[in-house]
Amino acid sequence: MTHYKSDFLNTLSQRGYIHQCSDFEGLDALAAQRKVVSYIGFDCTAPSLHVGSLVQIMLLHWLQQTGNTPIVLMGGGTTRVGDPSGRDESRKILSLEDIENNKHGIQQVFAKFLKFGHGPGDARMTDNAEWLTRLNWIEMLRDVGKHFSVNRMLAMDSVKLRLDREHELSFIEFNYMVLQAYDFVELAKRHGTNLQMGGSDQWGNIVNGIDLGRRMGTHQLYALTSPLITLSSGAKMGKTAAGAVWLNADMRSPYEYWQFWRNTEDADVGRFLKLFTTLPLDEIARLEKLAGAEINEAKKVLANEATALLHGHAAAAEAAETARKTFEEGAAGAALPTVNVDLGAGIGILQALVAAGLASSNGDAKRSIAGGAIKVNDEAVSNDKLMLDKSTLNADGAIKLSMGKKKHVLLKQA
RNA sequence: GGGAGAGUGUCCCGAGUGGCAAAGGGGGGGGACUGUAAAUCCCCUGCUUUACGGCUUCGUAGGUUCGAGUCCUACCUCUCCCA
């Protein structure tokens, strides 16, 4: 493994965060003096970030831990345009209201990973709507547009993909890369930013920013990208049956988040420990050596650490305890998802399953029962007309509804 | 403006052509085997208070027909070629 002078690059490289860099030596020299001011942009396309953005968040985290300055850029402006990278369909254009709401949802999560403030080394947050929405079209064309070669833009992957597949690329999207490049330059001027990081799909956009900076006379800018994290099975990370693994607790509870990590594939455990926890590398090396059933211990550590980073130690411990009770004792832990229903009049099993979110319709619920997937208080159900009422409550005052081995929901009297 | 083509099960890709709740994949869920893993095998993957019943689905709206995803008309959206 390459040795760098800076803690920053050493840490990143040892933990597997580096995919490409525009100039390792130059960046290393800056980082060794703790003079890196780096930003990552997050577009406001959803009310919460999901685990797919976690690598980027961790990049900022390590940047700060190694003495440099992170900047979180909210894409309040760029989201109005829509990044075409890696998509063969246009994003739908979001309303300004949605963007604003999404932004508020996304912002919260950064405080868990970064220390914000106004002192040296403290993280800042800014929003590119601040400058992008004030741009004047003609000025923009003269000052910035003249530096962009359409020939080159057409050759960029994000554009080429659309053209090759004969999918539409609207002019608004075509401009995204110009805005992102401009952001980099603007941040260089405003905050002395000298590095932009991002996922490997952002490489082209970031390098454009470096070019623009040179032409517009900023200090030297750098690019660093992280690899796209896929599961060993090849699937994209962060999508499960129930949708994306959101980071905000109101969209995905700490228990469910813990479960996500607990269910990591064997082959991914070591890599994920490095990327998504802050455990020391020698400790990770030890955990990685566990084989066979013992690797479950490593998965628990991964789940605990990753959950603690996001939701705090208390929530992680509660999730772990609930998992232990539920899976190792077969009981029901307190942090299981809970749904309140009126049991006074009784409720049919089908409706109960739908209410609990374990089935999308009565028909779906019926199929699950026919397939032997459903248990009530750990007893298999074969009758889809079963009624649940207060007499079904177990000793803890709840009805434990299970679908398969992993999904459990507690029903309680409303 | 002229010409050619496309839009299918609301997760995706895709066959289909007068009898269709509509082939096949992928993805997803469940079961078996396990270690809350992977791989493998099996089942399921439109709604509906039983259903060989009813209803809703193939871009939208009409029409022909006993019957339309399939034929006709208009419209919408997208792609390509020419201007």
pLDDT in tens, chain A (414 residues): 568 999 999 999 999 999 999 999 999 999 999 999 999 999 888 888 888 889 999 999 999 999 999 999 999 999 888 776 655 555 566 778 888 999 999 999 999 999 999 988 899 999 999 999 999 989 999 999 999 988 888 777 777 766 665 556 677 778 888 999 999 999 999 999 999 999 888 898 999 999 999 999 999 999 999 988 877 665 666 555 456 788 998 888 899 999 999 999 888 899 999 999 999 999 999 999 998 889 999 999 999 999 999 999 999 999 999 999 999 887 777 889 898 888 888 888 999 999 898 998 898 999 999 888 999 998 888 888 888 888 888 888 889 999 989 999 999 887
Half-sphere exposure at residue A184, Cβ-oriented, CA atoms within 13 angstroms? 34
Residue nearest to nucleotide B44 (CA to C1'): A367
Which residues numbered 334-363 in chain A sit less than 7 A from strand B, measured from CB?
Answer: 360-363
A185-203: b (≥16 Cβ within 10 Å) or e: bbbbeeeebbbbbbbebbb
Residues A7, A66: Cα–Cα separation, whole Å: 6
What ipTM was assigned to the predicted interfaces of this complex?
0.83
Whether the beta carbon of A236 falls within 7 A of nucleic chain B: the reply is no
pLDDT computed for residue A228 by the predictor? 81
Q: Distance in angstroms, CA of A232 to C1' of B15?
A: 32
Whether the beta carbon of A166 falls within 7 A of nucleic chain B: the reply is yes
Bases on strand B under 7 Å from any protein CB: 27-31, 34-39, 43-49, 78-80
Distance from chain centroid for Cα A53: 3
Q: Distance in angstroms, CA of A410 to C1' of B51?
A: 32
Q: The whole model's pTM is what? A: 0.89
In the structure encoding, which two tokens stand for residue A170, read together? Answer: 């609207």
Whether the beta carbon of A95 falls within 7 A of nucleic chain B: the reply is no
Strand A338-341 versus strand A124-127 pairing type: unpaired
CB A192 within 8 A of CB A124: no
Across all strands, nucleotide nearest A269 (CA–C1'): B37
How does DSSP classify residue A123?
A: B
pLDDT computed for residue A241 by the predictor? 44
Residue that the structure tokens 């209201």 belong to:
A97
